[in-house]
Amino acid sequence: MEGSLGVRHFSSSGGPGAPPKTAQATEEMQKLTLDMKETLDVLTPLELRSFRDLLKKLDEEPRVTQVQLELEGDSTWKLARLLAKQYYASAPRVLTKVLQQLPRADLLPRWESGPAANGPVIPRKRARRSHEYEDGDLDLYDLSGLRKAFLMCVKKTRPGASRDVELMEQWLGQCLFEHTQCIDPGKKELIDRLTSFRDGLNEIKDEISCCLVTLMSHGENGFIKTTDDEKVSLELIFDMFNNKNCPALHEKPKIFIIQACRGDRRDSGVETDDEPMDSDDISEKRRLPTFSDYFIIYPTQSDHVALRHPRTGSVMIQAMTDVFEKYGNKWHIADFFTKVNNKVVHTNFHLREEPVKVSLVMESTLTKSVYF
């Protein structure tokens, strides 16, 4: 039988859904099931739900029914076995089609070249903390609506900033964000553009599921600087999107990526020998704190410098790109930036020939998990 997408050939003589008729074919199907389970194990709970929904809608015969999914697809092992049994030799093609629609392009090379024992290694499973939840138990933000982003960058006097813009646009596109770009603004222009962006969200309130604001510039603790060398308070910007000023984002994630210095201090690092409360409020009207559902990421500690290379761009933005290219969108955003921080912390940098270390800082008032 002819294989699909360069995947192994099977020795059975039956149709696409035919069971194996030889011991060799049985062994091949068991190996295929294990290979597919390894891929499915990488998916987040939200992605697994989407995978099942896409599978039953797929234009492949014989079609997988909702009843089959409920009885035979409630775990990654059962789902892989169902795919192998239902489609057999064409199962890799079916798996590839669904992964393309998720989208999980990072998992495709393994299946496009065949799940051989010496084939490409797929990304590791997410940390056990996330994996312990059964499908449906993990409380997630619903990101099925529009994802809007605001991308501001001061390029003047910041060599490498153009590369940061390219990488951020690429990352936002991969995470399905529509973005508004703001390059080299003065203070008034930046505030006006942010206000217009915020007002636009309020006008399409019910369609928005997530907001992401990226600010890349010079800065100091609590401020970023515009091209006219004016300081803009980060608190002012955060306030613009709080629950009072932006009702469109009530109980929706508001993510801020700040790429700017927070002071002049430099951390040269240290040498080590180690290897590398109940509420009584019974009011009928539900209330929210003014600030909730925020996630803010800084490129360095308070009062410290941030790092940017004149050719390859900012250290944090480059690390974000590298981690996303390797692992895709399988992690909750805090886990994703923890991995980014791990890469940054364990990389050696030099500033004017002096060693310097940086560590990202995350602040969160999220109430659910964010999976892009």
Partnered with residue 219 across adjacent β-strands are: 224
Q: What percent of the chain has pLDDT over 90?
A: 40
The pLDDT of residue 64 is: 85
276 against 112, higher pLDDT: 112
Q: Note the pLDDT tens digit of each residue in 75-95.
A: 888 888 888 888 877 888 888
- Prediction pTM value: 0.62
Q: What percent of the chain has pLDDT over 70?
A: 81
Least confident of 29-43, 274-288, 292-306, 354-368: 274-288
**Known catalytic residue at 153:** no
Which sign, positive or negative, has the C-alpha torsion 340, 102, 364, 178? positive
CB-based contact 353:278 (threshold 8 Å)? no
pLDDT band at residue 269 using 50, 70 and 90 as cut-offs: low
Alpha-helical (H) ranges within the chain are: 23-40, 45-57, 66-72, 76-87, 91-101, 108-112, 128-131, 161-174, 187-203, 234-240, 315-327, 333-345
The pLDDT of residue 188 is: 97
Residues of the chain with CATH 1.10.533.10: 1-117+131-138
- Give the C-alpha distances (Å, rounded to integers) separating 43 from 154, 201, 232: 37, 30, 40
Mean pLDDT, to the nearest integer, of 350-367? 87
Mean pLDDT across the chain: 80
The pLDDT of residue 350 is: 80
CB-based contact 111:7 (threshold 8 Å)? yes
Mean pLDDT, to the nearest integer, of 303-320? 90
The pLDDT of residue 234 is: 96
Mean pLDDT, to the nearest integer, of 202-227? 94
pLDDT band at residue 217 using 50, 70 and 90 as cut-offs: very high
Tell me the DSSP string of 160-208.
THHHHHHHHHHHHHHTT-EEEEEES--HHHHHHHHHHHHHHHHHTGGGE
Mean pLDDT, to the nearest integer, of 346-354? 81
The pLDDT of residue 62 is: 83
Q: Note the pLDDT tens digit of each residue in 177-214.
A: 999 999 999 999 999 999 999 999 999 988 899 999 99
Mean pLDDT, to the nearest integer, of 338-351? 89
Helix (H, G, I), strand (E, B) or coil at 360: coil
The pLDDT of residue 236 is: 96
The pLDDT of residue 194 is: 97
Q: Note the pLDDT tens digit of each residue in 125-175.
A: 333 334 344 444 458 898 889 999 999 999 998 999 999 999 999 999 989
Q: Which of 218, 246, 304, 332 is catalytic?
A: 218
The pLDDT of residue 137 is: 45
Q: Residue 144: which residues within 8 A CB-CB, separation 6 or more?
A: 209
The pLDDT of residue 3 is: 29
Least confident of 160-164, 244-248, 305-309, 320-324: 305-309
Tell me the DSSP string of 105-136.
GGGHHHHHS---TTSPPPPPPPPHHHHTSPTT
Helix (H, G, I), strand (E, B) or coil at 327: helix
- CATH class label, 146-266+287-364: alpha beta
Report how far residue 77's alpha carbon sits from residue 90's, in angstroms, rounded to the nearest whole number.
18
pLDDT at position 74 over 50: yes
pLDDT at position 316 over 90: yes
**Known catalytic residue at 332:** no
The pLDDT of residue 357 is: 86
Report how far residue 268's alpha carbon sits from residue 50's, in angstroms, rounded to the nearest whole number.
46
What are the φ/ψ torsions at residue 186 (nearest 5 degrees)?
Answer: -80, 175
31 against 154, higher pLDDT: 154
Q: Looking at domain 1-117+131-138, which of 3.40.50.1110, 1.10.3720.10, 1.10.533.10, 3.30.365.10 is its CATH number? A: 1.10.533.10
Report how far residue 61's alpha carbon sits from residue 372's, in angstroms, rounded to the nearest whole number.
31
The pLDDT of residue 160 is: 92
pLDDT band at residue 113 using 50, 70 and 90 as cut-offs: low
Which sign, positive or negative, has the C-alpha torsion 296, 301, 305, 308? negative
Report how far residue 48's alpha carbon sits from residue 83's, in angstroms, rounded to the nearest whole number.
14
Q: Which of 182, 246, 261, 332 is catalytic?
A: 261
Q: Which residue has the tokens 């799940």?
A: 115
pLDDT band at residue 25 using 50, 70 and 90 as cut-offs: low
Residues of the chain with CATH 3.40.50.1460: 146-266+287-364
